[in-house]
Amino acid sequence: MVSYQRGMIEASSASSRGPLARSCGRPICQDRSACRRESSAECCAIPTPRKSCLRPPGGRGGVVASGNFTALPGTTTGTEPSRGMRRLDNLTPPRKLALTAIIDSDYLIVGAGGMGLAFADEIVTQTSASVTIVDRNHRPGGHWNDAYPFVRLHQASACYGVNSTPLGRHSIDPVGWNKGCYELASGSEVVAYFDQVMRQRFLPSGRVKYLPMSEYLGDGRVVSRGNGNEYEIRAQKIVDATYINVAVPSQRPPRFTLAAGVACAAPNSLPKLAPEYRHFVVIGSGKTGIDSCLFLLEHGVAPANITWVMPNDAWLFDRFTVNPGRHFTAIITAGRGEVLRAALAANSTDDFFR
Ligand X SMILES: Cc1cc2nc3c(=O)[nH]c(=O)nc-3n(C[C@H](O)[C@H](O)[C@H](O)COP(=O)(O)OP(=O)(O)OC[C@H]3O[C@@H](n4cnc5c(N)ncnc54)[C@H](O)[C@@H]3O)c2cc1C
Complex with ligand X: residue 201 or 221, whichever CB lies closer: 221
Complex with ligand X: residue 246 or 281, whichever CB lies closer: 246
**Helices and strands per DSSP (H, E), number in the chain:** 10, 11
| Helix runs in the chain, H state only | 32-37, 41-44, 51-54, 85-89, 114-126, 187-196, 270-273, 287-298, 329-345, 349-353
Taking CB under 6 A as the binding criterion, the range among 59-67, 149-157, 161-169, 266-274 that sits at the site for ligand X is: 149-157
Contact criterion met (CB below 8 Å) for 315 and 329: no
- Distance of closest approach, residue 55 Cβ to ligand X, in angstroms: 29
- Distance of closest approach, residue 73 Cβ to ligand X, in angstroms: 13
Complex with ligand X: residue 208 or 241, whichever CB lies closer: 241
Interface of this chain with ligand X, residues 214 to 243, rule: CB under 6 A: 215-216, 241-242
Interface of this chain with ligand X, residues 34 to 93, rule: CB under 6 A: none
How many other C-beta atoms can be found within 10 angstroms of the C-beta atom of residue 345?
A: 9
Taking CB under 6 A as the binding criterion, the range among 40-48, 143-151, 272-280, 311-319 that sits at the site for ligand X is: 143-151
* CA 109 – CA 210 distance, rounded (Å): 10
Supply φ then ψ for residue 137, to 5 degrees.
-75, 160
Complex with ligand X: residue 3 or 242, whichever CB lies closer: 242
Beta strands in 198-304 (DSSP E): 208-211, 214-218, 221-224, 230-240, 263-265, 280-283
- Distance of closest approach, residue 134 Cβ to ligand X, in angstroms: 5
Interface of this chain with ligand X, residues 91 to 120, rule: CB under 6 A: 110-116
- Binder among 213, 244, 309, 332 for ligand X (CB under 6 A): 244
Interface of this chain with ligand X, residues 13 to 42, rule: CB under 6 A: 14, 20
Complex with ligand X: residue 49 or 284, whichever CB lies closer: 284
- Distance of closest approach, residue 213 Cβ to ligand X, in angstroms: 9
Taking CB under 6 A as the binding criterion, the range among 26-34, 150-158, 308-316, 327-335 that sits at the site for ligand X is: 150-158
* CA 344 – CA 352 distance, rounded (Å): 9
Q: What is the DSSP string of 151-208?
A: -B-SS-GGGSS-TTS--S---B--SSTTTTSB---BHHHHHHHHHHIIIIIIGGGTSE
Q: In what order do the strands lie in the sheet with 131-134?
A: 208-211, 131-134, 99-110, 230-240, 221-224, 214-218
Q: Does 282 bind ligand X (CB under 6 A)?
A: no
Mask 287-306, x = binds ligand X (CB under 6 A)? xx------------------
Taking CB under 6 A as the binding criterion, the range among 79-87, 140-148, 170-178, 318-326 that sits at the site for ligand X is: 140-148
* CA 70 – CA 283 distance, rounded (Å): 26
* CA 41 – CA 242 distance, rounded (Å): 21
In 3D, which of 25, 72, 75, 60 has the Cα closest to residue 46? 25
* CA 11 – CA 254 distance, rounded (Å): 10
- Distance of closest approach, residue 98 Cβ to ligand X, in angstroms: 19
For the chain, the distance separating the N- and C-terminal CA atoms, rounded to the nearest angstrom, is 28
Complex with ligand X: residue 89 or 338, whichever CB lies closer: 89
Mask 311-350, x = binds ligand X (CB under 6 A)? ----------------------------------------
Count of residues near ligand X by CB under 6 A = 30
The contact set with ligand X (CB under 6 A) reads 14, 20, 110-116, 134-137, 142-143, 147, 151, 153-155, 160, 215-216, 241-242, 244, 246, 248, 287-288
